[in-house]
Amino acid sequence: MKPNRKVDAYQQFVLDCKIFWSTQVYPELQAQYDRTVESAQRQGTAAPSNAREAHALIGDAPLYQFYAWYERHLQRMKYSGRFGLVPHFETEREALEAKLAEADTLENLELDPAFESPRYYTSFDVHQHPKGLAGDTLAGLVYEQASRSTTPLIRRDRDLHYRFTAAVLNRITPKRMADLGCGFGKSTRPFYQEVPELRLTAVDLSAPCLRVAALNAREDQASGVRFLQRDAANTGLAGESFDSVTSTMLLHELPPPYIERLITESYRLLEPGGLVAHLDFLVPGHEPFKRFIHYSHGRRNNEPFMEPLNELDLVDLHKKAGFREVEIVPFEEADGTLAPDYRAWRFPWAMVIARK
């Protein structure tokens, strides 16, 4: 893309607003919630025990209403405002589509012209991304740019993906890996960079995202990775052909029945002794306020399966599929974010890890 100072300034403004929302508005909202709970308890009312009760306690408070409005509209501005990413990329559509068309000639990309995405994937604008991640040829490029401010306090946007890669590599030295729901390859890239000899198969529903991933891999001169347009819950890949299966921020994008199918598919793909590792958003324990904030974030950001995922017993589902040594562990996406005194808003990152 050609430099555009107006767009850059606008997007930086949106990012700075989101940092203010994360570091100033959210901590004050939590403090107000704690004060409200203490006041209610002094009057003999029990503290909330779930997200719904937390919502009932503070959902009508002006500060929460502002917090929610601010979050919703900052995301909308990022994508669709006057200098939003969608209209910005539209100004160079012809040149960008010509560049993306190069991906169709690459040996590392396999698209299916007859592929039909599941209805859940196309029935709403996920992340408030107009037309979703597969409804426009430029969607992959827009999503790649948009993802850089998903976690506003991480200035180097790929850090958490390299942290996840390191966490997986601490448990296994993979030779054949499947990356499910790879998107534009942000989750895939650290693995093929850190393990150059790795044979890596990455699948996703979105052809626009897969084209970006394939072009990035070409730029990286990665020879052992291929990108396939497949359903992660039904890949069609050979069983027991991988020693590792990963996903990053995929589970919360799936309806519960698809999550169960994905777990079963992961088990089928793995050879005995293989490792599965999912990085996603799981609120630890029974923290009503954090569950309320996370569940309502899903509604504001057009991610309706955030809440259902957190209500599932993922350990039990993995064991029923045949996995052993199942564990859910907190994930530190940046230094200090798991510290007890960390006050800014963050996603409840966690890893689901199991062995076949």
What pLDDT is recorded for position 155?
56
Amino acid letter for position 95: A
Q: How many other C-beta atoms can be found within 10 angstroms of the C-beta atom of residue 136?
A: 18
> 212 exposed, middle or buried (CB, 10 Å; 0-12, 13-18, 19+)?
buried
**Confidence bin at 149 (pLDDT 50/70/90):** confident
Give the residue-averaged pLDDT of 301-330. 97
What pLDDT is recorded for position 313?
97
Q: Which of 311, 310, 312 is nearest to 321 (CA)?
A: 312
> 80 exposed, middle or buried (CB, 10 Å; 0-12, 13-18, 19+)?
middle
pLDDT tens digit sequence for 30-87 = 999 999 999 999 999 999 999 999 999 999 999 999 999 999 999 999 999 899 999 9
- The model's pTM: 0.95
**159 contacts 186 by C-beta, under 8 angstroms:** no
* Sequence ranges of the domains in the chain: 5-87, 148-355
In the chain, what is the greatest distance between 2 CA atoms, to the nearest angstrom?
69
What percentage of residues in the chain have a pLDDT greater than 90? Answer: 94
The pair of three-digit structure tokens given for residue 164, joined into one six-digit string: 């996840």
pLDDT tens digit sequence for 170-214 = 999 999 999 999 999 999 999 999 999 999 999 999 999 999 999
CATH level 3 topology of 148-355: Rossmann fold (3.40.50)
Give the residue-averaged pLDDT of 256-270. 98
**350 contacts 278 by C-beta, under 8 angstroms:** no
Q: In sequence order, what are the residues at sequence separation of 6 or more whose Cβ sits closer than 8 angstroms to the Cβ of residue 54?
A: 33, 48, 288, 289, 291, 292
What pLDDT is recorded for position 2?
86
Q: In sequence order, what are the residues at sequence separation of 6 or more whose Cβ sits closer than 8 angstroms to the Cβ of residue 94?
A: none
* DSSP 8-state symbol, 130: T
Cα distances (Å, whole numbers) of residue 2 to 5, 111, 209, 312: 10, 29, 21, 45
